[in-house]
Structure 1
Amino acid sequence: MDISWDDARLFLAIAETGSFSGAARRLRIGQPTVSRRLAALEYAVGSALFRRSVDGAALTAAGERLLVPAKKMAEWAGELHRAAESADSSPRGIVRVTATPYMSFDFLAPFAAFVSQKHPGLRLEVQSQIQYLDLGRGEADLALRGRPPTSADLKLVDTLEVPNAVFVSKALKARLPKKLSLQQLPWVAWAPPFEAVPPNP
């Protein structure tokens, strides 16, 4: 005997809501339809699956035997639905990106415009701040950072080399030795907690 997924879903809806009216609401069909389809299922099975009372519908012994297989069938139906959805390979949804205000303004703003044209189903949510968000805890999906990750939980996806230049006034240049290291310059730089922001690194 074959029990269709529609019949199993009907049975499961009654079992989980405990009433025909609850099953009708969940399945968005009329209560008479629920009663009629359950009667047909019980006839095919050859046993009553529920005891009806003013308090609702309770499983019989025959119904108890069907409950676990029906739940497994529901899980596989969900897997089938997800597999069908994954056939559409176009990216969609929200990607939360964390970056410094500088990177957000200079890179992510124009990149977001490019993404919206190339992948209309994808949306970038930019979280612009100096403090690092914890990717391991799911605070963001991607991070643009000025230094590679040190945590074993994170994976470096790509790197980008950005040229930097150091500018000094003519007066300072006249006082500096011909050969000097970057550390010898009197930098105007960030204090903590902004030590990871250029030019500090």
Structure 2
Amino acid sequence: MGRYRWVLARKAEGFPTSMCCGVAKVSRQAFYEWRAGHAAGPTRREAAEAALVAEIGEIHAASGGAYGSPRVTAELRSRGHRVNPKRVARLMRAHRIAGIRPRRPKRTTTPARSAPKLPDLVGRRFAPGRPDRAWVSDITYVRTGDGWLYLAVVLDLGSRRLLGYAMSERIDTRLVQDALEGVCCRCRWRAG
């Protein structure tokens, strides 16, 4: 709340104007000038800015909420407005109008340049007919309250059964090894 509005509110409560102006550290003359301008309504500039904000909101809504200030500025210019991109960005920020920012994909693996390309042993045959003929593995990541966790799983294509898994805060070779070791331990336990 601004000082003049505070003085106006205290005056409405019945306090003397001079005392309120003294507390707010504004002159009575400045308060009365502000009140006269405030009572007269918005200035031409304020009205033009309100109309511009309404048009910005209209453009933003028509884009499905996707347009940010650069695209809104371009659309305003195509409609004949002479606007500065900084002004549009400031007005959008002040009125909490924001475009959608697409997330950049999270790159989880970077292959070694010297490593040879590995052959596809499954060959898109995802129904081998019976269990224990083809195993496949994959890695995914899960966002938690403490950060990212990486999950490696080993599946049997014939039975669609989960054979082993491992979780880690790091995505490295050890994660896949742990998942495969879990399968080996389980197989030895079943055999023994």
Sort the TM-score into its range (normalised by shorter chain). under 0.3
TM value normalised by structure 1: 0.24
Q: Which has the higher contact order (CA 8 A, sep 6+)?
A: 1
**TM-score, length-normalised on structure 2?**
0.25
Larger radius of gyration: 2
